[in-house]
Amino acid sequence: MKKIIGVALVAAILAGAWLYLRNHNQDISAVEYSQVVNHSESQLLAASAGTIEKLSLTTMLEAGIKTTAGVIKSTRLEEVKGVGQYSLMLDDKPTGLTTVSQIELIKGFSIDNKQVMLLGFDQGGNQCSRQYVMLTISNKLDISKPFGSCLPLTAIIQENNSVIMVMPQNNPYLGDDFTVSYRYENGVISQLTKVKTTDAKQKFGKMSATDILNVATKDGCYQDGVMLDDNSCGNGRKYCAMFKSIVKEPKNQDYKFLKDFCTGL
């Protein structure tokens, strides 16, 4: 009888020790939210009492971040048809955000007594590779709808209780000198600026048909009097968009060529 009690006591002690170590390790690996706000990706953080480790914000998200709603963590799922997937978890439960790429923590904020995080990710394919969401955390977690122009951010500006995010527009005909911007405020994402249909006319309106064909020649899409309308040249749509933005143009040979080529595009 004493032997049975002794074995049970040892088993209880071992189980208690395992639970302590398990919880203790979780405390070490999980990151306080204040560290997310106060440290950038280039700073050194104390990973444990005797170790200094360089942690990026994304590494913190993978390790787990303690928030007022629970521990938020990015977890890699099993591959689906050879494609890896990631899921954003709250206390080991799916939040509904699943991505093809690694979920990146870009920046953390403290706004109006709420914890706010900007995440970026890719969903694969050629249509829109780069997307963003904002997390708003109080006693619960709210995830915004994905937003962005499908291109990387170029600026993040915090203004009082709002965050302004700027990125290039996604119209290949206009180039990188046009941007779009979004505002986060009170848990809502709104688009501040976007490319207007008049922007193309303002940029290309003063060009001539000859100027446009010179651009196409430089791009390798206009050769020996022939416009290459294959996929590598966007089927010529770029040059037709430029041509349709011309304000005044003498109807010379180059004009007639582009008019005939662009009819129906």
Dump pLDDT digits (tens) for 208-218: 999 999 999 99
Q: How far apart are CA 259 and CA 265, in angstroms?
A: 10
Tell me what percent of the residues of the chain surpass a pLDDT of 90: 38
> Last residue of a domain, which of 146, 163, 183?
146
Residues 19 and 128 in one domain: yes
| Predicted local distance difference test score (pLDDT) of residue 21 | 38
Residues 72 and 139 in one domain: yes
**DSSP character at residue 93:** E
Residues 38 and 121 in one domain: yes
Residues 100 and 115 in one domain: yes
| Predicted local distance difference test score (pLDDT) of residue 23 | 44
pLDDT of 3 higher than 90: no
Residues 46 and 132 in one domain: yes
> Last residue of a domain, which of 179, 195, 211?
195
Residues 123 and 248 in one domain: no
| Predicted local distance difference test score (pLDDT) of residue 13 | 46
| Predicted local distance difference test score (pLDDT) of residue 28 | 47
Region 167-189: mean pLDDT is 82
Residues 61 and 39 in one domain: yes
| Predicted local distance difference test score (pLDDT) of residue 199 | 72
Total tally of structural domains belonging to the chain? 3
Residues 16 and 138 in one domain: yes
Q: Which of 29-38, 70-79, 112-121, 123-132 bottoms out in mean pLDDT, i.e. has the lowest?
A: 123-132
213: burial class by Cβ within 10 Å (0-12, 13-18, 19+)? Answer: buried
Residue-number span of the structural domain to which 108 is assigned:
2-146
With a CB cutoff of 8 Å and minimum separation 6, the contacts of 142 are 135, 136, 187
Q: Give the pLDDT band (50/70/90) at residue 229.
A: low
Region 90-96: mean pLDDT is 95
Mean pLDDT of the chain: 79
Highest mean pLDDT out of 22-36, 185-199, 223-237: 185-199
Residues 254 and 183 in one domain: no
Residues 16 and 136 in one domain: yes
122: burial class by Cβ within 10 Å (0-12, 13-18, 19+)? Answer: middle
What are all long-range contacts of 163-172, with beta carbons under 8 Å and residues at least 24 apart? Answer: 163/109, 163/111, 163/116, 163/118, 163/134, 164/192, 165/118, 165/132, 169/194, 169/195, 171/195, 171/200, 172/234, 172/238
Q: Which of 3-12, 39-48, 179-188, 241-250 bottoms out in mean pLDDT, i.e. has the lowest?
A: 39-48
| Predicted local distance difference test score (pLDDT) of residue 197 | 65
Q: Give the pLDDT band (50/70/90) at residue 63.
A: very high
Kindly state the tokens that stand for 176.
């990188």
With a CB cutoff of 8 Å and minimum separation 6, the contacts of 112 are 161, 186
Residues 40 and 121 in one domain: yes
Residues 131 and 248 in one domain: no
